[in-house]
Amino acid sequence: MASAMSSFMGTRPVVTAQRPARVSSRMVTRAGSDTYPEIGKNPYEGDFSDLPWPGWAEGKSADEIAKWQERELIHARWAMMGCAGAWGAEVGTGVPWFKAGLLCTPEDCTKMNSIFPGQVLGLAPEGSGFPNFYAVLAVEVVAIGLAEAYRTGLIEPAYPELEVGDLHPGGEHFDPLGLGADPSKLEEYKLKELKNGRLAMAGWLGYLAQAFVTNPGSDLPSYSEGAPGPYANWQAHVADPFGDNLWKYIGN
């Protein structure tokens, strides 16, 4: 079991079966034992016997496994952004992530105009009716829709180095600092990204559990007055480690 969990939390995804060159050349992440010293077999190669869920690969083709590999990395990136964004937003505004939606509703989105500490200028002139919920929604739909359309090939790539199924395009538009210029360092960075992404996915599950476990009301955390976010819980725990912890909420 220890070997299985080691595989899950930090191995590099490599698919040894044959698959399309575009996928394998771009998505396979390899690193030597000096980069990844932990024990545990790679969960994307061999007979998959070290996975925490036996029989996972049964009935799956090499292309399907490659697609799951792609999905894992995309989810990992969203989780890293989500964890950092939720924490940072609460630190900056005092509003927990599960209440952020209440600041911008179809009825009133102007609460977003001045929510940052020390903010001198509003996001829009006072009394203008902006920010507007539907304007914010339209910007999000267009921005995310274009990103997904480029990624999946629904529309022609915006840049020559961007290819369908390529999650590490590099180049001047995606790696302006040239961090991936050294192939060996690039493989190390890919591995570290996946490790941190897996931790972030587990961390986001923690955010969800925290919201419900520490919720003082009977409604959903979003509608409960005084429901603390992860940053507020962390502050309370640091101030009183023995009195404000998980046992306080589930032990009574």
C-alpha 215: how far from its chain's center?
24
Judged by average pLDDT, the poorest of 70-79, 81-90, 166-175, 203-212 is: 166-175
Which pTM does this prediction carry? 0.73
Question: In 93-114, which positions are buried (b, 16+ CB within 10 angstroms) versus exposed (e)?
Answer: bebbbbbbeebbeeeebbebbe
Mean pLDDT for 171-197 is 83
Mean pLDDT for 201-216 is 93
End-to-end alpha carbon distance in the chain: 32
Question: In 125-148, which positions are buried (b, 16+ CB within 10 angstroms) versus exposed (e)?
Answer: eeeeebbbbeeeeeeeeeeeeeee
Binding-site members for chlorophyll b are 77
Mean pLDDT for 198-224 is 91
Binding-site members are 72, 75, 77, 192-193, 196, 198, 210, 237
Neighbours of 185 (CB within 10 A): 12
Neighbours of 58 (CB within 10 A): 7
Judged by average pLDDT, the poorest of 132-146, 169-183, 206-220 is: 169-183
- pLDDT tens track for 83-127: 999 998 898 888 899 988 887 888 888 777 776 666 666 676 776
- pLDDT tens track for 2-20: 444 444 444 444 444 444 3
Binding-site members for chlorophyll a are 72, 75, 192-193, 196, 198, 210, 237
